[in-house]
A and B are shown apart, each in its own frame.
Chain A
């Protein structure tokens, strides 16, 4: 079945550091890929998405590129801020299942220290 693998956390960085959170996937179809973010005490919210190979999703300074050849969708940000502290989830939807469901990775907890 489909699966999403994220880098283990937690990740702690200093403010203005460069961020990479790795995400790879396995899917039976040609999936759409997503990053969701969960701020403390809140539900998940969509950060960015990409629906086909070589697409780049971007939002709030975060970027991720859909790499079909390496089945990856790594999240990057050039200069992180304290307000970026949250849990980040990589996810996919598979057209072989009608794109009706999201399959999530385990999440990566990010803490930014001033």
Chain B
């Protein structure tokens, strides 16, 4: 079972470069999320989407962009990479909101270093 698949697993970027982190899920989930995990800081929500064509900002959206053209894919775009964006990025998905039996399923993460 694939679940949530993130690519790449590791990447080194130079300051000012751009890249797209890919995320795909095969569970037909409506909700998708991007988090970043900094050492000692827990996970911070960057952007999320409650369905195709709908996206919304989380706590730390600056420097990132997202799109959701299909239910399966939720790419995260970094336009001008900065050292402050060095982090581990996690994509997650869920069937719906978290008030019931719904749980979030996470990818294995992308470790990004900006030098």
A17 at the interface (CB under 8 A from B): no
- Residues from chain B with a CB closer than 8 A to the CB of A66 are none
Shortest CB-to-CB span from B55 to chain A, Å, is: 12
B71-86 interface mask toward A, CB cutoff 8 Å, 1 = contact, 0 = none? 0000000000000000
B82-115 interface mask toward A, CB cutoff 8 Å, 1 = contact, 0 = none? 0000000010100001111001111111000000
Contact A43 B97, beta carbon cutoff 8 Å: no
Interface size on B, residues (CB 8 A): 26
- Residues from chain B with a CB closer than 8 A to the CB of A100 are 31, 48, 50, 97-98
Selected contact of B33 from candidates A32, A101, A105, CB within 8 Å: A101
Q: Give the contacts of A34-57 with B (CB-CB under 8 A).
A: 34, 36, 41-46, 49, 51
Interface size on A, residues (CB 8 A): 26
Contact B42 A93, beta carbon cutoff 8 Å: no
Shortest CB-to-CB span from B53 to chain A, Å, is: 16
- Residues from chain B with a CB closer than 8 A to the CB of A102 are 33, 43, 45, 98, 104
B4 at the interface (CB under 8 A from A): yes
Q: Which residues of A are interface residues toward B (Cβ below 8 A)? A: 4, 6, 32, 34, 36, 41-46, 49, 51, 89, 93, 95, 98-107
